């Protein structure tokens, strides 16, 4: 299929950035470099995206664990531990100054539970570290293992720190108990306030050859709730690859994940997204909500207050 599929190529042509995209695309590979492997082993959070086999809807989910629960186990393989068995910790796990250990888990009722146990699932993943404002994406095919799953990489690459809010430290709350997931058919007032306060969310998309998860960041208010069934956000300038918008051009299914970096509450949305282009090159993505799940205290991590990225534009209404 080459570096880009037809959706991304079409958006690159529309935006007049084909040459730049070809140059930047050289950073996409299949190998997990040593620096990337070291980065993965330090992360307590991994975001995954895929289509749920039961419904075909695309979701993004958060997995957490002691550093080391995500690690490179081959030049083109990443393994994720979701079950430690006898309460054991991931081999080689490393703590941080303020982090305590915890068993790897995803919260009960997660819509991707079956997908993460199904051989051949197209999966996108992103590890984002607010402490260093670094992020790494690895996309490929999933294979269940005795302790979780492994992903054979089709794409491995890093992104610049643009629009990532710095959070200097985190702690793991071992006594935090996840609440009951609340299914929603539309956005409540509480969910709308949650979204409006967000400075970060994750966006899962798919295309005929795979899946992907990307990060979106900005000052609070950059995501606008237009109605109980629709929200939108500006697509800020990035790396010119247009992987996400290219995926949406070929398949509008998408999943959004918002998380509260203090309380651990998670809001997951699934639906369809479409991009609006203006003559001056501005882009707005509109997302129609088909289903949502809000889970209080789903994640055991509590991060320090954010330092907003200097690249963030002021949100407009």
Domain spans of the chain, in order of start? 6-303
- Give the pair of three-digit tokens for residue 266: 């998670």
- Give the pair of three-digit tokens for residue 169: 């430290």
Q: 205, 212 in Cβ contact below 8 A?
A: yes
Q: 202, 299 in Cβ contact below 8 A?
A: no
Q: How confident is the model at residue 104 (pLDDT cuts 50, 70, 90)?
A: low
CA distance 137 to 135: 7
List all residues 6 or more positions away from 29 whose beta carbon is below 8 Å from its beta carbon.
155, 156, 157
Q: What is the percent of the chain where pLDDT is above 70?
A: 91
> pLDDT, tens digit, for every residue of 182-222?
999 999 999 999 999 999 999 999 999 999 999 999 999 99
pLDDT score at 105: 55
Task: Tell me the three-class secondary structure of the chain, residue by residue.
Answer: CCCCCHHHHHHHHHHCCHHHHHHHHHHCECCCCHHHHHHHCCCCEEEEEEECCCCCCEEEEEEECCCCCEEEEECCEEEEECCCCCCCCCCCCCCCCCCCCCCCECCCCCCCCCHHHCCCCEEEEEEEECCCCEEEEEEEEEEEECCEEEEEEEEEEEECCCCCCECCCEEECCCCCCCCCEEECCCCHHHHHHHHCCCEEEEEEEECCEEEEEEEECCCCCCEEEECCEEEEECCCCCCCCHHHHHHHHCCEEEEEEECCCCCCEEEEEEEEEEEECCCCCEEEEEEEEEEEEECCCCCEEECCCECCCCCCCCCC
- Give the pair of three-digit tokens for residue 263: 């309380």
pLDDT score at 317: 61
Mean pLDDT of 239-257: 96
Phi-psi region of 85 (alpha: psi -120 to 50; beta: other; left: phi over 0): left
Strand partners, 186: none
CA distance 69 to 303: 19
Q: 126, 47 in Cβ contact below 8 A?
A: yes
Rounded to 10 deg, the angle between the 243-250 and 6-15 helix axes is: 120
pLDDT score at 280: 87
pLDDT score at 90: 41
Mean pLDDT of 161-170: 96
117 has pLDDT over 50: yes
Rounded alpha-carbon distances, angstroms, from residue 20 to 9, 27, 136, 164, 213 = 12, 12, 20, 22, 22
Q: How confident is the model at residue 300 (pLDDT cuts 50, 70, 90)?
A: very high
Q: How confident is the model at residue 260 (pLDDT cuts 50, 70, 90)?
A: very high
Domain 6-303 has CATH 3.40.50.2300: no
Enter the pTM of the model: 0.92
Mean pLDDT of 31-45: 97
Strand partners, 70: 80
Residue 158 Cα to chain centre, angstroms: 13
Residue with tokens 């991009």: 275
* Burial grade of 182 (CB within 10 A; 0-12, 13-18, 19 or more): middle
Provide the sign of the torsion angle of the four alpha carbons 81, 256, 211, 240, taken in this order. Answer: negative
Q: How many CB atoms lie within 10 A of CB 241?
A: 23
Q: How close are the terminal C-alpha atoms of the chain, in Å?
A: 39
């Amino acid at each position: 299929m080459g570096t880009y599929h037809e959706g991304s190529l079409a958006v690159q042509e529309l935006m007049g950035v084909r040459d730049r995209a070809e140059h930047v695309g050289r950073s996409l590979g299949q190998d997990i470099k040593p620096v990337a492997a070291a980065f993965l082993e330090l992360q307590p959070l991994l975001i995954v995206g895929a289509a749920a086999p039961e419904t075909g809807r695309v979701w993004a989910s958060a997995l957490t664990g002691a550093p080391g629960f995500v690690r490179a186990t081959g030049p083109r393989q990443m393994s994720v531990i979701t079950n430690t068995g006898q309460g054991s910790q991931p081999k080689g796990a490393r703590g941080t100054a303020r982090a305590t250990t915890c068993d790897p888990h995803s919260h009960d009722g997660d819509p991707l539970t079956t997908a993460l146990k199904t051989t051949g699932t197209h999966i996108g993943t992103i590890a984002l570290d607010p402490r260093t404002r670094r992020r790494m994406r690895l996309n490929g095919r999933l294979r269940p293992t005795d302790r979780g799953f492994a992903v054979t990489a089709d794409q491995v690459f890093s992104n610049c720190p643009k629009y990532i809010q710095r959070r200097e430290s985190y702690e793991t709350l071992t006594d935090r108990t996840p609440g009951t997931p609340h299914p929603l058919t539309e956005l409540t007032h509480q969910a709308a306030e949650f979204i409006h306060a967000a400075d970060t969310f994750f966006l899962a998309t798919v295309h005929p050859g795979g899946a992907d998860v990307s990060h979106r960041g900005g000052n609070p208010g950059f995501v606008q709730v237009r109605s109980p069934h629709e929200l939108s956000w500006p697509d800020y300038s990035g790396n010119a690859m247009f992987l996400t918008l290219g995926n949406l051009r070929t398949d509008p299914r998408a999943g959004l994940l918002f998380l509260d970096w203090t309380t651990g509450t998670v809001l997951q949305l699934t639906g369809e997204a479409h991009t609006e282009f203006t003559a001056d090159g501005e882009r707005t993505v509109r997302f129609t909500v088909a289903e949502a799940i809000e889970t209080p205290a789903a994640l055991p991590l509590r991060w320090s207050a954010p330092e907003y990225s200097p690249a963030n534009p002021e949100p407009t209404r």
